[in-house]
Amino acid sequence: MARIIAGVSSSHVPAIGAAIDNHRTGEPYWQRVFEGFERSKEWMRNAKPDVCFVVYNDHASAFSVEMIPTFALGTAAEFPIADEGWGPRPVPVVKGHPRLASHIAQSVILDEFDLTLCNKMEVDHGLTVPLNLMFGSPKEWPCPIIPLAVNVVQFPPPTSNRCFNLGKALKKAIESYPEDLRVVVFGTGGMSHQISGQRAGLINSKFDHAFLDNLTKNPKKLTRLSHLELMREAGAEGVEMVMWLIMRGALDEKVDEVYRFYTVPASNTAVGHIILENRIKGAKKSAAKPAAKSKKPASKMKRAAALQKIHRVRS
């Protein structure tokens, strides 16, 4: 059976992609950003996923104001790189996994989540920048990618709670797929930023760090965040972080946080990143070693025993 081994969240700032494409990653401004993902690339090389499921938002590349699906699942065999105004990024074409994608579509739709199924779709920096940050710049992406585009551009976007529950449905779908596959789920976008209006340039690091803390330990608290709260605290574009909740909903209730990185700014955005691993089910704890003989003086041992007795009486 397929299983989700981990979730990854990262910002997808377009300027990060431009820095990669124009060989500027070693410049002082960008160096601190890319150094923060070196451990992540090493982790990904060791994880060796068979499939990555990437939740991102389209930036008027595959869709326009004429057609705005809330959730659009890519079911094609491959996804060309979109021309975002300066030519397609020089990154590999994204190869899909149509069989798993179709299985996910059936399971999730029967769980009453309406998806738009895309048998033809171009993908933009929202998807390719996180792939670069986690895989580097290979000639081909090392595994198939299934994209899920989420509307966080045109009001109303899906709620935090809706996205978290979609993640749960996604978990059920993937874990019911009969082939033995290791899957990593990406949630992308954010963190706090606003690119226009009177609050242009807003970054709220306090909110971002609290979001990261709760993503690991208390994601249900984040499901109560309204659109208004997200926009007020994280900026108009900070609503992108609902996509991180799809990733988190797809994981187990208890996870291990293996890496976190945060820096400001990159372009006009707070760059956040986290890797959460599902705990291996059925793993046996190592046998406890026999307790060493106490070297406490007899008086201290008697006192400790008395305190334990008092504690038992009080409880």
Q: Output the pLDDT for position 280.
A: 81
With a cut of 50, say whether residue 128 has pLDDT above it.
yes
pLDDT over threshold 90, residue 137: yes
pLDDT at 282: 54
**181 Cα distance to chain centroid:** 19
Q: Tell me the catalytic residues.
A: 125, 193
The C-alpha atoms of residue 76 and residue 118 are separated, in whole angstroms, by 7
Is the pLDDT assigned to residue 297 strictly greater than 70? no
| Residue 146 near residue 55, CB atoms below 8 Å | no
Residue 271 near residue 32, CB atoms below 8 Å = no
pTM of the model: 0.89
Half-sphere exposure for 40 (CA within 13 Å, toward CB): 29
- Of 60, 244, 74, nearest in space to 164 by CA: 244
Q: For residue 291, is pLDDT > 90? A: no
Q: What number is the average pLDDT over the span 183-187?
A: 98
Tokens read off for 69: 């699906």
For the chain, which domains are there? 3-314 (3.40.830.10)
Q: What is the pLDDT of residues 238-286, one digit of tens each?
A: 999 999 999 999 999 999 999 999 999 999 999 999 999 999 865 544 3
Predicted pLDDT at 147:
98
Q: Which residue has the higher pLDDT, 282 or 210?
A: 210
Identify the pLDDT of residue 133.
Answer: 98
- 173 C-beta neighbours (distance < 10 Å), count: 24
The answer to whether the beta carbons of residues 273 and 134 sit under 8 Å apart is: no
